[in-house]
Structure 1
């Protein structure tokens, strides 16, 4: 916490990393039910129920309406903002038949091929990507 006067200031800095959502304790609390829903898809009978009627199944979980709508829209970036953990959300896109690369490429706005080529080449360049506020 060097250079920070309190924990809240320190944690706020995590929100200033472009293109990244740090999975903090606050995000974990916010996304608890969302992530429990996603993990429920590990069981074949739950996957069958989900695939048969997504809205009915998701309405059984005490999530926010915003979380439910983001799941139904497969808006993974929004789900991360709403407390989703990508490793738990993988259960959703796996149930949809998507690989990790296919699902994550949707989060970048790139085609699967372009995303894969970028990652093979070493990933996204950090140049100019240090701060959302732009003050560093």
Structure 2
């Protein structure tokens, strides 16, 4: 294998971690405009424009239609798949009045109380499925 092939194989391993989306350079490139949109919500005037007409505000950004639909659906897991960075997406759920804990609990499939208890207890166990591809 040459050096370029090695790096691609190495980076592909990140996609084999169950329930995890590693924010790689590839995801950063794919999500650039999505993340810029999210960061724009730091300004009060942009939040007002966003709240007045979400679709019109999104159409001002060079995002894919799939990214726009995921934003409108508040499908945070899909947004991560499409290049979103959780720390940038926090601007979106903060604008919606959600805490970080509330938003990420929806991404886990757990209730807020279940998610909080799991995190207080130290997070998810390292035991269990460790590879999507190998089913182990």
- What band does the TM-score fall into relative to the shorter chain? over 0.9
Q: Which structure 1 residue ranges, 5 or more long, are not aligned?
A: none
Deviations 1:21-46 (A, max 9, x none): 01000000000000000000000000
Q: Tell me if the contact between 2:50 and 2:57 (Cα under 8 Å) persists in the aligned partners.
A: yes
Q: Which runs of 5+ in 2 are unaligned?
A: none
Residue equivalent to 1:27 = 27
| Distance across 2 between alignment mates of 1:57 and 1:113 | 34
Instruction: Give the aligned partner of residue 96 of structure 1.
Output: 96
| CA distance in structure 2 between the aligned counterparts of 1:46 and 1:57, rounded to whole angstroms | 9
TM norm structure 2:
0.94
* TM-score (norm. length: structure 1): 0.94
Measured after TM superposition, the shift of residue 129 of structure 1 is 2.6
Query: In 2, Cα distance between the equivalents of 1:113 and 1:135?
Result: 29
Give, in angstroms, the shift of residue 133 of structure 1.
1.1
Partner of 2:74: 74
Q: Alpha-carbon deviation of 1:116? A: 0.1
Query: For 1:89 and 1:23, how far apart are their aligned partners in 2?
Result: 13
The aligned length equals 132
Identify the residue that residue 48 of structure 1 maps to in structure 2: 48
Aligned to 2:124: 124
CA contact (8 A) 2:18 2:131 kept: yes
Counterpart of 1:112 in structure 2 is 112
Structure 1 moving runs of 4+ over 4 Å? none
Post-superposition shift, 1:130?
1.1
Give the whole-Å Cα distance in 2 for the aligned partners of 1:87 and 1:48. 21
2:40, 2:46 within 8 Å by CA — same for their partners in 1? Answer: yes
